[in-house]
Chain A
Amino acid sequence: MQLIPPLLTRPLNAVPLVVIERVCRLMFRRIGLAHPGLFERLGEHKAKRFAFLPTDVPLAFIVEPASDTIFVWRKTTDVIADAVTEAPLFMLLALMEGRCDADALFFSRDLSVTGDMEAMLAMRNALDASSIDLSKDLARLAGPFAPMAGRVIGEIRNRALDRALAGETASWN
């Protein structure tokens, strides 16, 4: 399933990976600061590598909770991780915020998981137990423009998610 048209994601191929990774790490660090206990529920699975592959973006995101780090790879490279989740980008972000139910997305085949299921289940539950709100957490990066940035991020997120879930409802029923 592709929620983002390839036309919008194609320019990412021209952006140096190091730049994308730096931006992602900045956002990842911001979320970590806002939710210091985020990975506490992972327990023994904290040392594992979790890959998130958006089906509509040519990038792979690999999270290492033990080192509080995120890596970004191009999908042209084989991803090395203990557990891998694939879904459209906005659904992955919605799962991070607990706005979607992972089981429901799995039943509808919009989400797939391979590899270490126990580790990915622990990650799912850890994220669901947190109160991540990307519009609030990331807006702080905009400094004095945080309120405006928060509104913009929230609006984009809500519209994308409404569109994704409206499509789901239509096809499910």
Chain B
Amino acid sequence: MELICPAGTPAAFHEAVDAGADAVYCGFRDETNARNFPGLNFSREELKEAIAYAKKKGCETFVALNTFMRAGAEEIWYQGAADAVACGADALILADFGLMAHVAEKYPDQRLHVSVQASASNPDAINFLVDTFNAKRVVLPRTLTIADIARIGKSIRCEMEVFVFGGLCVMAEGRCSLSSYATGKSPNMNGVCSPASHVRYRKDGRDLVSELGAFTINRFPEGEAAGYPTLCKGRFDIADSNGYAFEDPVSLDVMGELEALKAAGVSALKIEGRQRGKAYVAEVVKVMKAAVNSPPDRRGALLSRLRSMSEGQKTTSGAYEKRWR
């Protein structure tokens, strides 16, 4: 199975390639991708250089254009697609059907992957995208169990890529409006979930308090591991209890199920984290590459090294092993 690795900067891109990534995914410095964070991402020139570096080392580059186009401003996304194709991207990762149609028509030879943001989670939806836009691969939403993935794999006509490590969403990719509710901006339309411009941290005695927009979303007592300042990871008062209503601040780690994923027909394993630093990318890709190439009984020891880099310093297998129905 291929290892698909994140890069938010050219420096992180080089680290990922050097650590053994089979493909690196990245995006432009604008709202066309779902990690549109300040200071992050690639200029056209940087992407061109990165792709050339990757090609020399036998590594592929996927360019994420995975936000939804704003009506009247489609040219921003069309130009992104044109530039990514011109730079030599091996695949474009797309979520918007309109953009998929544009790319399929204008660049019929360009490989097209369906982004997790498209929320294509059943055979009918996936095969529609394969038949209509010639999609070659689908990145499956993190709502499915491994048994679900195996069932889908038997009925679709394209490759499957799944997230195996990194930040975990509330699992409604492309449809989540929590960030919009609190800040007016979302990963779907603006490429930012809980944008930094709306985040504040303050100290209250020994506690760390995180605020998003007008909402206080969490309070971490001294010594407790912290998480990202997103509403889905907020701690709420509900009736007589106080706790995480949507999900705990934890990261995804499903590397313990590699054999099952392989048997289910998965062809690519994706690491989340374009917003993370190059030290994270270097370490995670190196360990994951070693884990993929190791026998199952040795993977646990390798992967335990990554727990300290995870949100909340804890990991979960998420929906892949759904036990909470």
Residues of chain A at the chain B interface (Cβ within 8 Å) = 41-43, 45, 95, 98-104, 106-109, 112-114, 117-126, 128-131, 168-169, 172-173
Known A118-B38, A125-B40: A107·B310 in contact at CB below 8 Å: yes
B38 x A129 contact (CB < 8 A): no
Q: Do A125 and B279 form a contact, CB below 8 Å, given A117-B197, A172-B308?
A: no
Known: A104-B309, A173-B308. A98 touches B196 (CB 8 A): no
- Residues of B close to A125: CB separation below 8 A: 8-9, 37-40
Contacts of A126 in B (CB 8 A): 39
CB pair B276–A117 under 8 Å, yes or no, is no
* Distance in angstroms between the alpha carbons of A41 and B308 in the assembled complex: 28
Known: A113-B201, A118-B38, A123-B39. A101 touches B309 (CB 8 A): yes
Whether B11 pairs with A98 at a CB distance below 8 angstroms is: yes
Contacts of B304 in A (CB 8 A): 173
> How far in angstroms is the closest Cβ of chain B from A152?
23
Interface assignment of B203: CB less than 8 Å from any CB of chain A? yes
Does B280 have its Cβ within 8 Å of any Cβ on chain A? yes
Say yes or no: B277 contacts A107, CB within 8 Å: no
A44 nearest CB across to chain B (Å): 8
Option from A98, A104, A113 in Cβ contact (under 8 Å) with B308 = A104
Report B-chain residues with C-beta under 8 Å of the C-beta of A103: 275-277, 280, 309, 311
A5, chain B: closest CB distance, angstroms = 22
Shortest beta-carbon contacts, A-B, top 4:
A125-B39, A122-B39, A122-B38, A129-B9
Out of B8, B11, B278, B311, which one reaches A107, CB within 8 Å?
A: B311
Q: Which chain A residues border B312 with CB–CB below 8 Å? A: 107
Q: How far is the CA of A10 from the CA of B44 in the complex (A)?
A: 49
Are B307 and A112 in contact, with the CB atoms below 8 A? no
Q: Which of B187-218 contact A (CB under 8 A)?
A: 195-197, 199-203, 208
Query: Does B267 interact with chain A (Cβ within 8 Å)?
Result: no
B78 within 8 A of A: no
Contact of B279 among A99, A107, A173 (CB under 8 A): A99
Q: Give the residue among B38, B196, B304 with the most A Cβ atoms within 10 A.
A: B38
Taking a contact as CB atoms under 8 Å apart, the answer to whether B39 and A112 are in contact is no
Contact A117 B278 (CB under 8 A): no
Task: Tell yes or no: B264 within 8 A of A by CB.
Answer: no
Known: A108-B308, A109-B220, A129-B9. 14 other contacts (CB 8 A): A43-B39, A98-B11, A101-B277, A101-B283, A103-B275, A106-B226, A109-B222, A117-B197, A117-B201, A118-B197, A125-B37, A125-B39, A129-B39, A131-B11
Whether B277 pairs with A114 at a CB distance below 8 angstroms is no
From the candidates A114, A120, A130, name the one contacting B203 in the complex (CB within 8 A): A114
How far is it, in angstroms, between the C-alpha of A45 and the C-alpha of B37 when the chains are bound?
Answer: 13
Q: Which residue of A lies closest to B308 (CB)?
A: A172
Q: Point out residues on B near A: beta carbons under 8 Å.
A: 8-12, 37-40, 195-197, 199-203, 208, 220, 222-227, 275-280, 283, 304, 307-313
**Are the C-beta atoms of B40 and A101 separated by less than 8 Å?**
no
**Alpha-carbon distance A117/B200, docked complex (angstroms):** 7
Taking CB atoms, residues of chain B closer than 8 Å to A106 are 226
Shortest C-beta distance, A67 to chain B (Å), equals 19
- Provide 16 A-B residue pairs closer than 8 Å at the C-beta atoms, listed in order of the A residue: A41-B40, A42-B39, A43-B39, A98-B11, A98-B279, A100-B277, A107-B309, A108-B225, A109-B226, A114-B202, A114-B203, A118-B196, A121-B38, A128-B12, A172-B308, A173-B304
Chain B residue at smallest Cβ distance from A129: B9
B11 touches A130 (CB 8 A): yes
Smallest distance from the beta carbon of B244 to chain A beta carbons, Å? 15
- Between A113, A125, A169, the greatest number of chain B beta carbons within 10 A of the residue's beta carbon is seen for A125
A124's partner among B10, B277, B313 (CB-CB below 8 A) is B277
Give chain A nearest CB distance to B40 CB in angstroms: 5
Among B39, B200, B276, point to the contact of A41 (Cβ < 8 A): B39
B10, B199, B309: most-surrounded residue (chain A CB, <10 A): B309
A103 to B310, CA, bound (A): 9
A128 B11 Cβ-Cβ under 8 A: yes
The answer to whether A43 and B38 touch across the interface, beta carbons within 8 angstroms, is yes
Q: A121-B196, A129-B9, A173-B308 are in contact. Are A107 and B227 (CB under 8 A)?
A: yes
Residue on B with the closest CB to A98?
B278
CA distance A101 to B281 in the complex (A): 9
Residues of A within 8 A of B222 (CB): 109
**CB contact under 8 A between A121 and B308, given known A109-B225, A112-B203, A172-B313:** no
- Complex-state Cα separation, A118 to B203, whole angstroms: 18
